[in-house]
Amino acid sequence: MLFRKPHAVRTLHSAFDSLEGSAKIIGMPGMGPIAIFDKSALESLNPDEAVWLDCFYKTNITPLFYVETLADLYKGMRKGRSPEQVVGSIAYKTPDFGIELNIHHLSLCINDLLGYPVRMNGYPVVAGFRSVMTGDQMGLVLERAREIEAFERWQKGEFLDLERQIAKQWRQGLSSLDPHLIIKDLGVREQQIKLDKREVKSLVDRAVRGERKRFGALKAALETQGVPENLRDRIIRRWKSEGGPPLITFAPYAAHVFSVDMFISIGLATGVISPGRPSNIIDLAYLYYLPFCMVFISGDKLHRKIAPLFLRKDQDFIWSPELKADLMKLDAHFSAFPESVKAEGLFAFASWPPEDMGFLTTRLWDRHLPAWREILANEKKRAPSSNEEHERLMAKLNEMDAAQPTERQVTIEEARFVKSERYVPISKGKWRLLPPGVEASREN
């Protein structure tokens, strides 16, 4: 395994800063358009290309990606490699810098139905925040998810016995998803449905907008999303107290997930989705998480066909072969830098994408984070960072480390800072990621 000496990298960023409507951008790897990718997209990359995905995109890892990866432990030998080697290879290429793990969609659906809104603004929805206080500033500390720790172990070829035991169960669970979702409460008859994918999507949209039976849509959503029986009466009472609104108004995220479920069910019944490939259902489950990204990356033909129907106008579907070609082009671009520059690590010379719009990645930055060019221009005007500035930043980070828990629940709007910690390898592929001297600091 090529993984070498992981090093903890702390990041500090504002929770609520903005510039001309764009999220604040910090000049460092792991910041960029928020991307979700499926497992096939990551598998198509070599380690050097994966470095640039990690460098210029902030990635939202869905629970489905984690489950699919772990499920490979139960598969047989693939091209002479053991299941552990296959999983280790995927984990090795999984981003390190700007990774976040999204909360499971069913948990979000239940909260949404109970009246706790789910933000669908292109950002990950994560759990595990601790409220802290330092001086007169309130902040949030993001705990490291167990799934992220598992990826770090898998990179080194370490697998717990528990993971081996549950791998088989998870794979069987994915393979046994029921394609026949409940649509009878909506009064839909299969023979009335046209075979065109856009007509199917139109029918789905009308259902969640309340143009068909509103209560029927709610009941079907409760069923397909597995809402516990003891919560259903509470949800229905809330729905009635609000005047029986359309599902899209009552619980927008649950409506999105239900629309995907309906599309799968009707699509299978009409031939829009092939019933002969059970993995189609698993593949389309990635669509549940589209509200939590800016770009969706996949090399799956079904995703290419269906995902654009569910994307907002401010989102993009990226065909993974096109992204791979762009990452290869980025690799060649930065490979031409002097060896003395590359020896300083990506943090020193790859904080921003090339300004040349010939790069797909640059165009995506322009579309989703348009303020980056202004920030970069201002950065160029400033004098190089001094040792004093570096020391002030480290002092701030250390102050955050010493922050004390507070009983008050700090909201994202109130937080003056959000701190997260990542374990980053010193190098990956042919690239040094961290600056010289990290090895010595780690040993001290």
Residue-wise pLDDT tens digits, 61-109: 888 887 778 777 766 656 677 877 888 888 889 888 888 888 889 899 9
Please choose, from the candidates 422, 421, 423, the residue with its C-alpha nearest in 3D space to the C-alpha of residue 140. 421
The four Cα atoms 386, 388, 390, 392 give a dihedral, to 10 degrees, of -150
Taking only the tens place, the pLDDT of each residue in 133-155 is 887 778 877 676 666 777 677 77
What pLDDT, on a 0 to 100 scale, did the predictor assign at position 165?
Answer: 60
User: Residue 87 corresponds to which amino acid?
Assistant: V
Q: What average pLDDT does the structure give for the chain? A: 79
What pLDDT, on a 0 to 100 scale, did the predictor assign at position 50?
Answer: 96
Tell me which H or E stretch contains 355: none
What pLDDT, on a 0 to 100 scale, did the predictor assign at position 438?
Answer: 62
Residue 38 DSSP label: -
Bridge partners of 10, per DSSP, are: 421
Taking only the tens place, the pLDDT of each residue in 170-186 is 555 555 545 454 455 45
What pLDDT, on a 0 to 100 scale, did the predictor assign at position 28?
Answer: 56
Per the CB < 8 A criterion, the answer to whether 59 and 99 are in contact is yes
Query: Mean pLDDT for each consecutive 10-residue tract of the chain (444 residues)?
Result: 34 34 48 93 95 94 82 66 81 85 90 93 82 79 70 70 60 52 52 68 85 85 90 96 95 95 82 73 89 96 94 96 98 96 88 94 96 88 65 70 77 71 81 75 46
Quickly list H helices, 209-297.
214-224, 229-241, 247-250, 252-270, 279-284
Phi, psi of 48 (to 5 degrees): -65, -40
User: Residue 72 corresponds to which amino acid?
Assistant: D
Would you report the helix, strand and coil content of the chain in percent, each value rounded to 5? 50, 15, 35
Tell me how far apart the alpha carbons of residues 27 and 31 are, in angstroms, rounded to a whole number: 8
Phi, psi of 279 (to 5 degrees): -65, -15
Residue 405 DSSP label: E
Per the CB < 8 A criterion, the answer to whether 72 and 189 are in contact is no
pTM: 0.83
Geometric angle at alpha carbon 142, from 64 and 160, rounded to 5°? 50
What pLDDT, on a 0 to 100 scale, did the predictor assign at position 154?
Answer: 72
As to burial, measured by CB atoms within 10 angstroms (0-12 exposed, 13-18 middle, 19+ buried), residue 391 is exposed
What pLDDT, on a 0 to 100 scale, did the predictor assign at position 440?
Answer: 47
